[in-house]
Chains A and B, each alone.
Chain A
C-alpha cells in the first residue's frame, strides 16, 4: 500500500508550511489500489475498524482489509487488467453474514459459504469465494450484498478499475482503449457519506436500536477521507485505515480522467471548478453511437456531475487558461505561443490591405472564434514563433457570417491606424498570449492587487496571478500549493456537505491544482 518515494518539489517557504501542516510536498494524480497482475486473486477480510473524521472524530467502520494489511475505508480499489479471471476470497471477521456483489462484471460465480438472499455469504469466521471475468474496461464498484442498508453504510464498498488491453503507464493510458478516452492524469472520486450515530450504536453493541429510516449523514467522504485530510498524501501513517488521498494535479492542456463512484445513499452534485468536462462513460459503458466501439461520440459536456448512488462516471477534464483574459503563463508578446494558449486559429482568405477594417478567415476553422464578443488575437505569418506579429482585438458580429472578424482595436496602444500590417501576414490566432495582467509598464489592463491587509489568504493562494510565480505572502500563508499552481475547488454543490459534523470547512471538498509547466506529477503505479 505504501506509495513510492515522494517526489518533492519544495521551496523554502513551502518547507516551513510542511512542517506546520504535516503535508507531504507531492504533486500527484494517481489511483492507488491493489494490483496483482493478470488473473489476480484478492484475499480480503471483512472486519471492524476505526477511521478519523476531518474534525478528529473517531468513527467506527466495517471495512475490508487486504491480506496482512489494516482494514480500509473505503474497501481497497481493485486494479485489474481487462480479460482477467478474478478470484476474490472473502473472509468474515464480522458478527453477521457478509457477501460481495460485482455489478457490471460478467460470469460472476460464488462458491463456499452459505446461500444468502442475493449471493452466497461468508458466515462469521467463514470464507466465501467469488470469481468473475473482467471482460470490459472501465470504472466499476463492488459492495456488500448482505444486509445492504447497514453494511454499505458501515463501509463495505470499493472501486474496481479494469485497465483496457494494451494499457501502459506511460505510453498508452486510456480509459477504454480508444483515442478519445486517452488521458494524461487520472484520479478517483469515491464518494460516500456517514451517519455517525448509526456507527456509534453498532460500536457499542446496540445495532438492534438502529433505525435506518432515520438515516441523516453528518460526514461526506472522497476516497474515504473528509477535507482537509484529503490533502495528506496517500498512505500517511496517521491515517492507517484511510490510505487514499484525493488531491488531483495536472498540467495546462493535459487531459485528466476523473473516475467518479457514487457509493453512498444520496446523489451528490459534483462540481469541477475551472472548466466544464466531458462525461465519456457511465457505469463502465462508453457513451457511444456505435455499440462496442468505445468511441465516446455521445459524450456530454457538463459543468456539474450528478453522481447517483450505485453509479460510476468517467469524465475527462482539461484546463488551459487560453481565454482567461490575460496571459496566466506570464509571457511577453514575442515569446513562442504555446498550443494551450490558443483558443481558435485560422488562415486568412485574402491578403490584408491597409484600409481593411476586418479580416476574412478561411474555412474550416472560421466558426471556432467567439461569437458577438470581442476577443484578443494576433496576426502572424502562420508561424507561432514568428515575432513579427500584430496584436488585435476582433469580434464576429454576425455568426451567420463567421468568416468576417471585425477589427475593434489594433496595435500595442490600441490604435486602429498603425503604420502597416506585419509582413507575410497569413493567419489569425485567438490567444491571450502576452497579455499582461498588471504592472506599471502596461496600462492596457490596469489591475492593482489589493493590499495584503485587505485580503484573507487561502492555503492554496500563491500570492501571484501567474502560474508558477510566487507573490509575497504573510508568514504562514500558502503552503498547500507548493509549486504556485492554480487551485480550483472540486466539491459537492450540496453545500451543506462541505462540513464535518456541522463544522465548515470539511466534508466533500477537494482541490485540483493546475501546476506550472515543468512540474513532475506522480502517476498511478499500475
Chain B
C-alpha cells in the first residue's frame, strides 16, 4: 500500500487513505511525503538445478503479495523530497547463540534517516562493543520502526538492511528506490523515453542454509567472510534459457537503466554491442557523461545509464564473467536481455524454446526452470509457466504442458485443465504396496506412467490416501513424488538395458 501523508501533521501514516485520495493530495501544493509500508520476511526460491534456498525479502505490508527479493520499487514522486518507510519485521527469530541476528532495519546509502541511531552490542568471542546495526531495529515477530528520509535528490537509490548487512543484504533484503527530476527526466534536462532497473545480487546457498538452520555465526558458517556465491542475479533471478527479457518499448528509444549493485563483489555490467552513456552516479548527475562498453559497479554503487536500444535483443551481462549458474555448464548468472520492438508473443503456449511446437525439450526446460516450484506468482511478479493462473508453478502446470506435447495451442486460448482420472484402478493402492512408478504394470517405468501420474493430481482418492501415484504417501502428488518417480524411471531404464 502506497500512501501520502502531510508531514507536519501526521508522523504516522494512516492506512485508511486510499490511492485516489493520495493522488489528489499529490497534486496539491505543500510539503507532502510519500510513505511505504514494508514487511521483511522469509521465503524459498528454487535455483537452477533444483536446489531450494531460503531467502529473505520484502513485501508491501497488509497485501497478499509474496515476499520478493529485490523488494518493491519505492518511487518518490517528482514533487516530493521526503520518503518514509514503515518497516515491520516478520523474519523468524534469531538463533539462540545470536538472538539479535535477525533484527533488521532500513538504510538508503546517500540519504540519512531522521534520528538515525546506530545499535551497539557487546558480543563476540572477545567481548567488544560492536555496532550491529546502522539504525534502530525492528525485532522479529512483528516489531516495527519508521524511517524518514528527507532531501531526496533525483536519482537512483538502493534501500537495504542496515543490520548485520553482510548477512542480511546477501539474504535478499534490498530493493530499488528512485526519484525523477521531472516526468521523463532522470536529472534536470537528462531525458529518456522508457526506464528499467537492474539490481545485481549474489547467492551463496551454503550461507542461506546456515541461516535457515540456525548455524550462521557458528563454526559451520562463521561469517560472511566465507561467502562464495554460486548464483549471480539480476533483479533477483539468475539467467536461464527461459528468462524473459526486460521489455523496453519501441526500438531506438532512449532507455534509462538504473544499475545498482546489492552484491558483495565488484561486477562490470557490459554490452556486446551498443554503447552505454553514464549520466549519473550515486544520485549525482555527471557533468561530462562518458560513453562506455563496460561499467565499474562496486558493491552499493548506483549508476544511471542511458542507452539507445536497437530493434531486437540487447545483452547486458557481467564482464567479470559471473555468467554461470553454480557448476551447471553453459550460460547463466548475471545476464539479462533488453528487448525492444513489438512486445514478444510466443507462437504457441508452452513452446518454451520457441521452435514452433510443444515437445519433450520444452518439458525439460519447464522442469529445469527456477519457476518450477514457485508459489508466489503475481501480476507484478508473474510466472511465465503458471499456465492455470493459480499463482503456483506446480504439478498441475506440468500436467498441462505435458498434455500439449505434439501440439501448438494458441497463447490466447482458454486453458482447460484435464479432468482427473478419478478412480483409475491402476492407481489405487487398494491396500497393496506402492507400485513404485510402474502404474500401468507393463514392467517398466516410462512416459506412460508419467501421464497416469499427472492425471492423478486431482484424484480425490489421492487426498484420501489411497493413491499409488502418491509415491511418498503424504496425501498429495507434488515435486517430491516427481523426484521419486524420476529415480524409479532411471532405475527402470538401467534394468532394461541389462
Task: Name A residues whose Cβ lies closer than 8 Å to a Cβ of B.
Answer: 101, 103-104, 108, 117-119, 145, 147-150, 152-153, 207-215, 262, 265-267, 282-285, 287, 289, 298, 306, 308-311
A selection of 20 A-B contacts at a CB cut-off of 8 Å is: A103-B273, A108-B273, A118-B315, A119-B272, A147-B330, A148-B323, A149-B321, A149-B322, A149-B324, A153-B321, A210-B329, A213-B326, A262-B294, A267-B268, A282-B290, A283-B294, A284-B293, A285-B275, A285-B291, A308-B295
CB distance from B428 to the nearest CB of A (A): 42
The answer to whether residues A283 and B291 also contact, given A208-B329, A309-B320, A310-B319 and a CB cut-off of 8 A, is: yes
Total contacting residues, chain B, CB less than 8 A: 33
Q: Are B273 and A210 in contact, CB atoms less than 8 angstroms apart?
A: no
A211, A287, A310: the one contacting B270 at CB < 8 Å is: A310
For A289, what are the chain B residues with a Cβ–Cβ distance below 8 Å? 288
Q: Are A152 and B292 in contact, CB atoms less than 8 angstroms apart?
A: no
Give CA–CA (A118, B337) in the complex, Å: 9
Give CA–CA (A211, B317) in the complex, Å: 19
Q: Are B229 and A213 in contact, CB atoms less than 8 angstroms apart?
A: yes
Give CA–CA (A267, B319) in the complex, Å: 10
B228, B293, B321: the one contacting A311 at CB < 8 Å is: B293
Give CA–CA (A149, B266) in the complex, Å: 16
Q: Are A103 and B271 in contact, CB atoms less than 8 angstroms apart?
A: yes
Q: Are B331 and A310 in contact, CB atoms less than 8 angstroms apart?
A: no
5 closest A-B pairs by beta carbon, nearest first, are: A310-B319, A310-B294, A211-B327, A101-B272, A309-B319
A265, A283, A298: the one contacting B321 at CB < 8 Å is: A265
Task: Name B residues whose Cβ lies closer than 8 Å to a Cβ of A.
Answer: 228-230, 241, 266, 268, 270-273, 275, 288, 290-296, 315, 317, 319-324, 326-327, 329-331, 333
For A153, what are the chain B residues with a Cβ–Cβ distance below 8 Å? 321
A262 (CB) vs chain B CBs: closest residue: B294
Q: Are A148 and B268 in contact, CB atoms less than 8 angstroms apart?
A: no
CB distance from B297 to the nearest CB of A (A): 10
Name 10 extra pairs, CB < 8 A, besides A103-B293, A119-B272, A309-B319. Answer: A148-B317, A148-B321, A149-B321, A150-B329, A207-B329, A209-B327, A212-B321, A213-B322, A306-B296, A309-B270
How many A-B Cβ pairs are below 8 Å?
A: 97
Q: Are B296 and A104 in contact, CB atoms less than 8 angstroms apart?
A: no
Give CA–CA (A118, B266) in the complex, Å: 23
Q: Which of A118, A145, A306 has the most CB of B within 10 A?
A: A118
Give CA–CA (A147, B266) in the complex, Å: 21
For A310, what are the chain B residues with a Cβ–Cβ distance below 8 Å? 268, 270, 293-294, 319
B228, B268, B315, B331: the one contacting A308 at CB < 8 Å is: B268
Give CA–CA (A27, B406) in the complex, Å: 69
Q: Which of A103, A150, A213, A262 has the most CB of B within 10 A?
A: A213
For B317, what are the chain A residues with a Cβ–Cβ distance below 8 Å? 148
Q: Are B275 and A104 in contact, CB atoms less than 8 angstroms apart?
A: yes
A148, A152, A210, A308: the one contacting B294 at CB < 8 Å is: A308
Give CA–CA (A101, B323) in the complex, Å: 16
The answer to whether residues A213 and B319 also contact, given A103-B270, A117-B331 and a CB cut-off of 8 A, is: no
Give CA–CA (A289, B289) in the complex, Å: 9
For B228, what are the chain A residues with a Cβ–Cβ distance below 8 Å? 213-214
CB distance from A287 to the nearest CB of B (A): 7
B273, B293, B320: the one contacting A265 at CB < 8 Å is: B320
Give CA–CA (A308, B331) in the complex, Å: 21
Give CA–CA (A214, B322) in the complex, Å: 10
B268, B315, B324, B331: the one contacting A213 at CB < 8 Å is: B324
Q: Are B292 and A283 in contact, CB atoms less than 8 angstroms apart?
A: yes
Q: Are A213 and B230 in contact, CB atoms less than 8 angstroms apart?
A: yes
For B315, what are the chain A residues with a Cβ–Cβ distance below 8 Å? 118
B323 (CB) vs chain A CBs: closest residue: A149
For A103, what are the chain B residues with a Cβ–Cβ distance below 8 Å? 270-273, 293
For B296, what are the chain A residues with a Cβ–Cβ distance below 8 Å? 267, 306, 308
CB distance from B327 to the nearest CB of A (A): 4
B313 (CB) vs chain A CBs: closest residue: A118
For A282, what are the chain B residues with a Cβ–Cβ distance below 8 Å? 290, 292
For B275, what are the chain A residues with a Cβ–Cβ distance below 8 Å? 104, 283, 285
Give CA–CA (A145, B321) in the complex, Å: 12
For A284, what are the chain B residues with a Cβ–Cβ distance below 8 Å? 293
Give CA–CA (A214, B272) in the complex, Å: 25
The answer to whether residues A148 and B327 also contact, given A306-B296, A308-B319 and a CB cut-off of 8 A, is: no
